[in-house]
Structure 1
Amino acid sequence: MRFFFIFICSIVLATLCIVFFQSAISHVYGNTAELEEKYSFLYFVIFLIFISFFFFLLSKNMITRLEQINQNVKEISKGNLDVQIQTMKNDEIGQLATNINKMTNSLKKSIEKEKLAQKMKNEMISNISHDLRTPVTSLIGYVDLIERNFDVNKENCQQYVRVVKRKSRELKNQVDDLLEYCHINYREIQLHKEIVGVKQLVEQVMIDFIPQLEAVQMKFHIECNQDLQIEADISLLVRLMQNVISNSISYGKSGKIIDIQIFQENRNVKINIKNYGKKILQEDIPYIFEKFYRGEKSRSAHTGGKGMGLAIAKSIANIHKGDITVYSDDKETIFTLILPQYSTKP
C-alpha cells in the first residue's frame, strides 16, 4: 500500500516537473504544442526518468529497511535465533519486522521446549533405570537363594518367597506410579470433568482410609462451613488426595490426627490437609513435589516409596489449572490444594 502511494506521488511530481519544464521553454519557443508533437518520445522518456528518480528518492528509506530485514532473515535461516530486527516505524515494514521477531521468538521457545522435553525424557529414562535396578537385583538375589536352598532348608525358602512377593508388589507399585506419572506429564491426557461437592469428595476419600487410620490409631476431622463445588476429573482428584493423605499418615502418625479445612479464597477452593508429625526440613521443601525426591533419606522403600506420590499430586493439580503447596514447622505440616471454584455465575 505504501509503495503504491509512493508510485502515485512520483507520477504527480514527474507531471509537475514536465509542466514546469514546458512553462520554462514556452518563453523561448512560442509554440510548445509543435515541440510536444515533434519530441513526444523524448517527453515520455524524460517523464519516466522523473518518475524513477522520485520513486527512488521517496522509497530509498523503505528499500534500505527491507534490505536490513533481508540480511537479518538470512542470519535467522542460518540458525541464529538471537537476531532481533529493529522496528523504527509502525508501518507495513515495521509490522513485517515485528511479525518476524515474534516468529523467531516463538521458534526459539519451541526449540528450547523441545530440548527441555528431550532432557526430561533422558532424565526420566535414567531415573527409571536407576530406580528399577535395585529391586530387580534384589529379586534375582532372592530367587538364587531359593534355588540353592530349595532341597536343603524349606523354612528359609518360605521366608525368601515371602520377601520375593513383597518386593514384587513394591516393584509393581513403582512401575504403576511411573506409568501414571508419564501418562499425566508426557501425553495429552483427556480430562473427564464433573461438577462435585468438595466436602463430599473429601469425606469419601477419608472413609476409604479409615482402616489405615485405625491401624496407627489416628483420627481425622473435616471443617467446612460452605457448600463449595469444583469441576474436575474425579478419579484423578481422588488419586491426588490419596497420595497426600497417605503421606500425611506415614509421616504424621505421631500427631494422632489429620485436620482438613475447606474454604473459599479469591474464586478458588482451598483444601488444607494438616498433620502434626515430624516437620519437613526447609531445605527439602522446594523439592518435595519433584519426582524421585525423598526428603527423609532414612525412609525405607516400603515406607518412603520412591518419591512419585507427591509429584503425581502436583501434576494432577496443574492440569486442573490449580496448584499444591506445603508449609511445615515444628508444630504442623500443611499441604494446601488450590483449585478453581465452580460457579454458575458468569
Structure 2
Amino acid sequence: MKIKRDKIRNDYTKLKSKVFFQMFLITVAAAVAVYLLRHILRGHIGDRIVGYLVKAFQFKNSDAQEIYQLVIRNNIEMILFVVILIFLLVILFRFSVFWFTKYFDEISAGMDKLTEESNAKITLSPELDFMENKINQIKNNLEKQKKAALNAEQRKNDLVVYLAHDIKTPLTSVIGYLSLLDEAPDMPLKQKAKYVGVTLEKAYRLEQLINEFFEITRFNLQTIVLNKEKINLLFMLQQMADEFYPMLTPQEKQVSVNVPDDLTLCGDADKLARVFNNILKNAIAYSYENSIINISAKQQDKNTIITFTNQGNPIPKEKLETIFEKFYRLDSARSTNTGGAGLGLAIAQEIVTAHNGTISVESNSENTTFTVKLPS
C-alpha cells in the first residue's frame, strides 16, 4: 500500500503531458517556419540576394545567380536545419527556464504558507497536484503537532498551578499543627499524639506532591535505557500486590494474581515494575469499594500478555484516546487522594514502547482492562 501511495503522490503524468504539449507546439511552429522560409528563399528573397551580390561586389548577373545557386539554394536544407536548430534551442531553453522557475516559485510560495496561521488549503498548478498533496499533508501534520504541543503545555501549566495550590494546603496544616505543639509544650499526650499524627500525614502528602514536581522534570529529560534480564513474572506481580496492601485495606479491595509459575519475561525489571505499578495504582484509585482487581498473564505465540482488570465507573470513549498522554488526568476534580501528576500511564507507555511492546485499555459498564503485550 505504501509503494502504491507514494506512486500516486509522485505522479508526474500531468507535468510531463504539459511539457510534451508545449514542445509539440514549438515543433509545429518550427515546421511551419521552415516551410515558409524555404519558399521565401526561393522567391523574392532569392532575387534580392542576387541583386545584392551584383550591386555590392560588381558581379555579373549570371555569376551572382551561380553563386546563389551553389552557396544558398543547393544547401538550403542544411541552412534551414542549422537556423531552425538554433531557433529551437533558444526557444526551448527560454521556455524551459520560464516553466520550471514558475513551478519552483509556486512550490516556494506553498512552502512559505506552511507557517501561516490559516486553515486555507495550499493550491498549486494542476500538473503539480502530487506536490500540492504533499505540502498540504505537511501543513496538516505541522498544525496537529503544534496544537498537541500547545495542549500539552497548557495541561502542564495547569498541573503546576494545581500542584502549587495542593502543596500550599498540607504545608499550611503542617505549620499550623507544629505551631500549636510549639506553643503548648504541656499539651496532653493524647492530643499531642493526634496533632503529630495529622502533621505526619500532611507531611507525607507534601512529599508526594514534591515528588510529582520532580517526576515532571525527569519525564521530560530522561532517555529510557534498558537493562534487560530474565524476570519471574509471578514473583514480581505478587510482590507488587503485597506492597499495595495498605492502599487496599481501607476500602476492602483485593488484588488477585493469576500467573503461571514458570512464566518468564526478558526485560528491564525496574522499569517494567514501574509500568505495572502505575497501572495497578490507577486500577486501585478508580475501582469500586469491596471489589477485586484481577491481574493475569499468559504466553501467546512469541509474546507475553499481561492484563489488569478492575470494576469501576467506565472510562468515557473520548478519554480512552488521550489516557496515555502526558499530564492527562482522568480525575478532573483533582481528588487529593487519587490525583497525580498525570504522568503514570504516559511513562508506562514510553517504557513498554522501548521494549517493542504495546499497551492498551478497554472500558465498559462492567470493568476496565489494561493490556500490556511484550515480546517474550
What band does the TM-score fall into relative to the shorter chain? Answer: 0.5 to 0.7
SS in 1 for 2:123: coil
Counterpart in the other structure of 2:223: 189
Spell out, residue by residue over 1:32-62, the C-alpha distance to the aligned partner (whole angstroms, 9 max, x if none): 665599xxx9x99987666555666788776
Match of 2:123 among 78, 85, 88: 85
Match of 1:153 among 187, 208, 220: 187
- 1:340 maps to a residue whose letter is K
SS in 2 for 1:153: coil
SS in 2 for 1:84: coil
Counterpart in the other structure of 2:371: 338
SS in 2 for 1:176: helix
Cα distance in 2 between the residues matched to 1:50 and 1:151: 107
Counterpart in the other structure of 1:263: 298
Establish whether residue 20 from structure 1 lines up as the match of residue 35 from structure 2: yes
Distance 1:236 1:285, change over 3 A: farther
The range that moved more, 161-170 or 67-76, is 67-76
The range that moved more, 312-321 or 45-54, is 45-54
Counterpart in the other structure of 2:167: 132
Distance 1:88 1:264, change over 3 A: farther
Structure of larger gyration radius:
2
The range that moved more, 263-272 or 130-139, is 263-272
Counterpart in the other structure of 1:316: 347
SS in 2 for 1:261: strand
Cα distance in 2 between the residues matched to 1:205 and 1:252: 20
Cα distance, 1:154 vs. partner?
A: 5.7
Distance 1:125 1:210, change over 3 A: closer
Distance 1:112 1:198, change over 3 A: same
Contact 1:221/1:258 (CA < 8 Å) preserved in 2?
yes
Cα distance in 2 between the residues matched to 1:95 and 1:295: 44
Cα distance, 1:136 vs. partner?
A: 1.9
Match of 1:165 among 194, 200, 213: 200
- 1:165 maps to a residue whose letter is L
SS in 1 for 2:126: coil
Counterpart in the other structure of 2:61: none
- 2:345 maps to a residue whose letter is K
Distance 1:99 1:48, change over 3 A: farther
Counterpart in the other structure of 2:290: 254
Cα distance in 2 between the residues matched to 1:51 and 1:241: 72
Correspondences of 1:1-346 after superposition (within 5 Å): 16=31, 19-28=34-43, 29=46, 31=68, 34=71, 65=103, 68-69=106-107, 71-73=109-111, 75-76=113-114, 79-80=117-118, 82-86=120-124, 88-89=126-127, 93=128, 96-147=131-182, 149-151=183-185, 153=187, 155=189, 156-184=191-219, 186-194=220-228, 196-209=231-244, 221-224=256-259, 230-246=265-281, 254-255=290-291, 258-263=293-298, 269-274=304-309, 279-280=312-313, 286=319, 291=328, 293-294=330-331, 301=336, 304-308=337-341, 311-319=342-350, 320-321=352-353, 322-325=358-361, 327=363, 329=365, 333-334=367-368, 336-343=369-376
Contact 2:30/2:84 (CA < 8 Å) preserved in 1?
no
Cα distance, 1:220 vs. partner?
A: 5.0
Cα distance, 1:167 vs. partner?
A: 1.0
Contact 1:260/1:273 (CA < 8 Å) preserved in 2?
yes
Cα distance, 1:78 vs. partner?
A: 5.4
**Share of identical aligned residues, percent?**
18
Distance 1:282 1:21, change over 3 A: closer
Cα distance in 2 between the residues matched to 1:74 and 1:176: 44
Distance 1:219 1:137, change over 3 A: closer
Distance 1:294 1:27, change over 3 A: closer
SS in 2 for 1:314: helix
- 1:174 maps to a residue whose letter is L
SS in 2 for 1:341: strand
Contact 1:193/1:231 (CA < 8 Å) preserved in 2?
no
Distance 1:108 1:164, change over 3 A: same
- 1:112 maps to a residue whose letter is K
The range that moved more, 49-58 or 173-182, is 49-58
Cα distance in 2 between the residues matched to 1:323 and 1:273: 11
Instruction: Give unpaired runs (5+ residues) of structure 2.
Output: 1-14, 47-64
TM-score, normalized by length of structure 1?
0.66
